[in-house]
Amino acid sequence: MKLLAEALVKFSLGALMVGALIFLPAGSLGFWQGWLLMGLLFIPMLIAGFVMLFKAPDLLAKRLDAKEKQAAQKGVLAFSGLMFVGGFVVAGLDHRFGWSRMPVWVTVMGAAVFLLSYALYAEVLRENAYLSRTIRVEEGQTVVDTGLYGIVRHPMYMATILLFLAMPVVLGSWWALLVFASYPAIIVARLKDEEALLEKELAGYCDYQKKVRWRLVPFVW
């Protein structure tokens, strides 16, 4: 019950915060792309939360723990937070003042990419029970090298890049897309720090790096 209460509080606060960041700058609740993003973002999140609550409560607890201990990563997360706030606010202002002229079909394609990214993210959660929102190595942790982890070393980050780049497209804002375009650089900074830790503390990770060469994008990097 404590885990359920914590999850519901964080879910509710997250939905209220994102809604405020989108609709207050937009100056209207008639911003249909805003409602589309809210539905795409929070309905699957709610479903996934209940699935983890009953089938993998330890994984849910890890996903709720966002207290980063490493100083460098605190800066990365702070910059990421600024990007989200700025991106959502710009998207709302874009709707209010009509800065962008994004075709509806592009928004629909963005929604499709968003859902695909969510599906990839869910598969990563299924494959790796050690996933957490902070960079750390747990006692007894082993290297996962099958499934998506047999293609790239960081499939979760790959999924989140697609997910977050799709957000401003769902919101119909080219200007917000420029703001969110900084996200891959944020992920690269976080990823390199994480790999340095895994090389030192996770047995077998160096061999895994030799086996799976690509970090995020197959045949690219």
Q: Does residue 20 surpass a pLDDT of 90?
A: yes
Q: Does residue 26 surpass a pLDDT of 90?
A: yes
Give residue 69's Cα distance to chain centre.
19
- For the chain, the three-class secondary structure string (H helix, E strand, C coil) is CHHHHHHHHHHHHHHHHHHHHHHHHHCCCCCHHHHHHHHHHHHHHHHHHHHHHHHCHHHHHHHHCCCCCCHHHHHHHHHHHHHHHHHHHHHHHHHHHCCCCCCHHHHHHHHHHHHHHHHHHHHHHHHCCCCCCCCCCCCCCCCCCCHHHHCCCCHHHHHHHHHHHHHHHHCCCHHHHHHHCCHHHHHHHHHHHHHHHHHHHCCCHHHHHHHCCCCCCCCCC
Rounded mean pLDDT, 19-29: 95
Band of the pLDDT at 5, cuts 50, 70, 90?
Answer: confident
Given this model, what pLDDT does residue 220 score?
87
CA distance 1 to 117: 30
Which fold, 2-131+142-211? Four Helix Bundle (Hemerythrin (Met), subunit A) (1.20.120)
Given this model, what pLDDT does residue 87 score?
95
Band of the pLDDT at 91, cuts 50, 70, 90?
Answer: very high
49-53, 95-99, 136-140, 209-213: which has the minimum mean pLDDT? Answer: 136-140
Band of the pLDDT at 189, cuts 50, 70, 90?
Answer: confident
Rounded mean pLDDT, 93-111: 95
Rounded mean pLDDT, 80-100: 94
Given this model, what pLDDT does residue 25 score?
96
Which residue ranges make up each domain of the chain? 2-131+142-211
Top-confidence residue, 170 or 190: 170
